[in-house]
Structure 1
Amino acid sequence: MSDDLDFMPATPGKDELVNPDGPDQAKPSGTPAGDSGGDPGGDGDRAPGERAELPTWNRSRRKRKANVKAEKEDDAFQRGVRKASRQVIDTPKLVLGAIVIAVLVIGGGVMLTNRSAQGDAEAARTLQAATAAIVRGQVVPPEEQERLGDSLQMYRMPIFTTEDERAAAIAAAMAEAKSSGRDQVEQNATLVAAAQAVQAGDFDAALADYALFLDDAGRDHPLRFLALEGQGNAFEAKGELDAALASFQAIAPYPSDYYRPMALYHQGRVLEALERTDEALAIYRQYLEEFPKEELATPMVRDRLEALDPEFAALLSAPASAPPISP
């Protein structure tokens, strides 16, 4: 659609004419058609057949023009945000996939589960501040902050002047949450600490924190599946594949369990790494039987089937044969 449409004036009401110059300049309702009412730029001075000049007072267009400068100033910061996002995406999925999910779930949901008591809510806010700094925190030098000014507020994310300042803020908030005296907040803080350790490559520390969380939280904790997935990833990173397989098998042992699709996919991957290809194929086929509709891990399972059993994968992608036509 052409930009000329941005200049189209609003349709006046029955007893009202729209005029950008204000109510004092409005035409009287009795002004004859074609009479400009004394306006030297009006239709009355136009030669026969001459095209009228379209109005240029569209408010939304003026607003867009006014924001051009601010948008240019934001470009550098936006590039930084996009770069950080790409770095997360490019990091090996097996190590960081569940980490980002875990801190997002905890950071966004822990407040809601702890509002029953003021003390719990205060401790939860501390953990939320830590997870926000981990997931969304951005380092912007002081001179860049000064240049961007108030436009920084539109991003709604924690801003730090140096990486050391960000790390110190995270460490302080995490320490406070882990010693808050609130069981649920301390458990969730332990889970976040384990995810941080995996991200830093300290898999022994991660496994210690995951074990502590799983012992304290019990089987009914809503984030237990993330702890088991993280534990499996840490074992896998250390090359302890049998232990990793056991963790992934414990995530969702029953078809009705939440996160069952990802649990099966993880099991298939590790079985392949253990060179137990027949068992991996059986798991992938079981996945498609249990989840014929598209799930999060379905594309990855199909890719593995195409690599390990092309004939079976071809049957899956073949169109269904048409029923015979009755004579």
Structure 2
Amino acid sequence: MSDDLDFMPATPGKDELVNPDGPDQAKSGSAEDPAPGGDGDRAPGERAELPTWNRSRRKRKANVKAEKEDDAFQRGVRKASRQVIDTPKLVIGAIVIALLVIAGGVALTNRSTEGDAVAARTLQVATAAIVRGQVVPPEEQERLGDSIKLYRLPIFATEEDRQAAIAAAVTEAKNSGRDKVEQDAALVAAAQAMQAGDFDAALAEYELFLEDAGREHPLRFVALEGKGNALEAKGELEAALAAFQAIAPYPSDYYRPMALYHQGRVLEALERPDEALAIYRQYLDEFKKEELATPMVRKRLEALDPEFAALMSAPASPTISP
């Protein structure tokens, strides 16, 4: 049953008082002078009237003004969310996945010592500014007042302030003297460079991470995907294909679906449609269940081989028992 359900008395008294602290604390008259609508006015056997107080409705009413003031800021937050969703597929892995994985805890391996944890929190300042940071001009901040704190987002007066805060936090993490945190800082710096369109800087950071972190690092796939995206953006398609092939070479590897999809895309860009088609078919053969890249693979199959795509999407024929 909804929290918004109101319990209204059948015939509310004209002077009935409702206390927002709850029915147990409701104001009432004395025994000698019962309040209207109270027990003193009820005939024997008549149902008692239930209280009209509703916590959720009172809270909403109290916050109407704040909600109106927040509208402009809410629109800004929603716009930022849409921008992340609408980011071209080229940089989905390099920016969104990398940042969300790191921002979620800057890798669990960094929690092994107290010193690593302190350094990791510095890096989280940078990831929070990149992923959730909002630019709100000072005059708008003043207009919103304390209501802006409800969103718990990093707020900056200008884009320059946001970029400066990110750079300072990443630099501090890189100089923390903690190997694992410094490695993760390279990933954050690379993702930030990708977002800014500086693909050479991003590629340098990804290479630095891959050189230092080794093959067993849990975020290696993020760096390889980012490296492939940076190379693709630079037009170095053969090198990008090699990077995507290195992400998950075996069917049991984590992130295999996105690795195959990236390979197919680059093969198409290299004007090798037959090889791309083979990769997409391999994808559907390996992954019967819906994966992150499945809708995109099906779309490419429809473009390259409509007959095969139609065959794959056709319902199975019913089996007739003898």
Please confirm whether the aligned pair reaches a TM-score higher than 0.5, indicating the same fold. yes
- Which ranges in structure 1 are unaligned for 5 or more consecutive residues? 10-17, 29-36, 47-51
Identity %: 82
1:305 equivalent to 2:308? Answer: no
Question: Using a 3 Å threshold, how does the CA distance of structure 1 residues 92 and 39 change in structure 2: closer, same or farther?
Answer: same
Q: Distance in 2 between matches of 1:4 and 1:162?
A: 41
1:77 equivalent to 2:73? Answer: yes
The 10-residue stretch of structure 1 (279-288 or 142-151) with the greater mean CA deviation from structure 2: 142-151
Equivalence for 1:201: 197
1:161 equivalent to 2:125? Answer: no
Runs ≥4 residues deviating over 4 A: 1-4, 41-46, 52-55
Note the alpha carbon deviations across 1:48-77, whole angstroms, 9 max, x for none. xxxx99853222221221121111111111
Counterparts of 1:98-137 in structure 2, within 5 Å, are: 98-110=94-106, 112-137=108-133
Note the alpha carbon deviations across 1:97-142, whole angstroms, 9 max, x for none. 4312111211222264323322211211111111111111111222
Q: Distance in 1 between matches of 2:103 and 2:207?
A: 21
Q: CA deviation at 1:2?
A: 9.6
Equivalence for 2:230: 234
Q: CA deviation at 1:303?
A: 0.7
Match of residue 182, structure 1, among 178, 182, 188: 178
Q: CA deviation at 1:181?
A: 1.0
TM (norm. structure 2) is: 0.87
Question: Using a 3 Å threshold, how does the CA distance of structure 1 residues 247 and 112 change in structure 2: closer, same or farther?
Answer: closer
| Greater relative contact order (CA < 8 Å, ≥ 6 in sequence) | 2
**1:8·1:55 contact (CA, 8 Å) conserved in 2?**
yes
TM (norm. structure 1) is: 0.85
Match of residue 142, structure 2, among 131, 134, 146: 146
**1:111·1:128 contact (CA, 8 Å) conserved in 2?**
no
The 10-residue stretch of structure 1 (191-200 or 297-306) with the greater mean CA deviation from structure 2: 191-200
Q: What SS does the corresponding residue of 2:267 show, helix, strand or coil?
A: helix
Match of residue 62, structure 2, among 46, 59, 66: 66
Match of residue 224, structure 1, among 217, 220, 223: 220
Aligned length: 308
Equivalence for 1:173: 169
Q: Distance in 2 between matches of 1:171 and 1:111?
A: 20
Note the alpha carbon deviations across 1:203-222, whole angstroms, 9 max, x for none. 11111111111111110011
One-letter amino acid of the counterpart of residue 25, structure 1 = S
- Which ranges in structure 2 are unaligned for 5 or more consecutive residues? 10-20, 43-47
Q: CA deviation at 1:3?
A: 10
Equivalence for 2:83: 87
